[in-house]
Amino acid sequence: MSRFLYMALCTALGAPLLVGCLGASTSSPAPIEVAAPGRWTSLAPLPTPRQEVAVAALRGHIWVMGGFGAAAEPTAAAESYDPATNAWTARPLLPTAVHHAAAVTVGERLFVLGGYAGGRVRWEPVGDVWEWNEARGAWEARAPMPTPRGALAAAVLNGRIHALGGAQRDALNVHEVYDPATNVWKTVNAMPTARDHLAAVAFQDRIWALGGRSSFLGTQYANVEIYDPAADAWRTGPPLPRGRGGLAAATLLDRIVVFGGEAPFRIFEATEMYEPAGNRWIAMAPMPTPRHGIGAAVVGAQIYVPGGGREPGFAATDVNEAYTR
């Protein structure tokens, strides 16, 4: 949804909701971790401000690819951040400008999957899969996803990429698995809940699908669904403290941590951690800059969360912050 249309909706809804329409942030309702909430560090800003980005870690660097750039138009920009020098490097552009793509690494192989081509008015779902070839310094095409889509999530388990949900026109529960060794996709048991703008991680030898939504103004899911590849079966996990889409997730020190997100008239500053011992979510130190349309990746003992939108709708930023537990 364009920022113009978003503000038009706010105006139509009237003054009582105007503050929310302007992007009021929302904290977590989960129990607060007082003893060790973690801390945030502000780092060198992202050279190309953007949101709805694809983020992954490769060889100790954080890569940020695609997204909405200036004037809410898709960008092919690819940039990598070096935590050791607190500096960014411009990388070769993606072959296609996309937003709402997903990115993962399998060993030392970096992949960008799906997304939408087209600007603020027309979003065209794509099934492209691109792999970064370090030796050639170029992106190379791999077998496309069977189901073109954007606003999907991806996670890696046992050397295979699980591509979950997303949308073409409506939200999908599609679950497709890619084997980089054979360059082959297969379709497996679909998610119980169709949703886009979700997050996903591999944790405890399972794939966890977290949050998401049915549409921008539709249901905002707190659902956590857990996939067992050995049984090709899903089960329900402990729900997020509050439903939303546009969030990011990563695993650190045998914990799942989720960040930010968006719901109608709100963005989230929440940092929440899944605590296996209590089978519950607890609130950690909130994000200094509430954002949605973000990605998260781990290098060392830190989770990096670059870019994103600072207000509901289109509001790209160059913020680059790292969380340490």
Taking the mean position of all CA atoms in its chain, how far away is CA 21?
22
Residue 245: strand, helix, or coil: strand
Domain topology for 3-324: Neuraminidase (2.120.10)
| pTM for this prediction | 0.92
Interatomic CA distance for residues 285 and 241, integer angstroms? 15
Q: Which of 276, 209, 281 is nearest to 242 (CA)?
A: 281
- Whether residue 287 contacts residue 260, with contact meaning beta carbons closer than 8 Å, is answered with yes
Q: Residue type at 100?
A: H
Parse the chain into domains and list their residue ranges: 3-324
Interatomic CA distance for residues 99 and 112, integer angstroms? 11
pLDDT by position in tens, the chain (length 325): 333 333 334 433 333 333 334 456 778 999 998 899 999 999 999 999 999 999 999 999 999 999 998 788 999 999 999 999 999 999 999 999 999 999 999 999 999 999 999 877 789 999 999 999 999 999 999 999 999 999 999 999 999 999 999 999 999 999 999 999 999 999 999 999 999 999 999 999 999 999 999 998 999 999 999 999 999 999 999 999 999 999 999 999 899 999 999 999 899 999 999 999 999 999 999 999 999 999 999 999 999 999 999 998 889 999 999 999 9
Q: Which two tokens stand for residue 255?
A: 């914990």
Q: Residue type at 285?
A: A
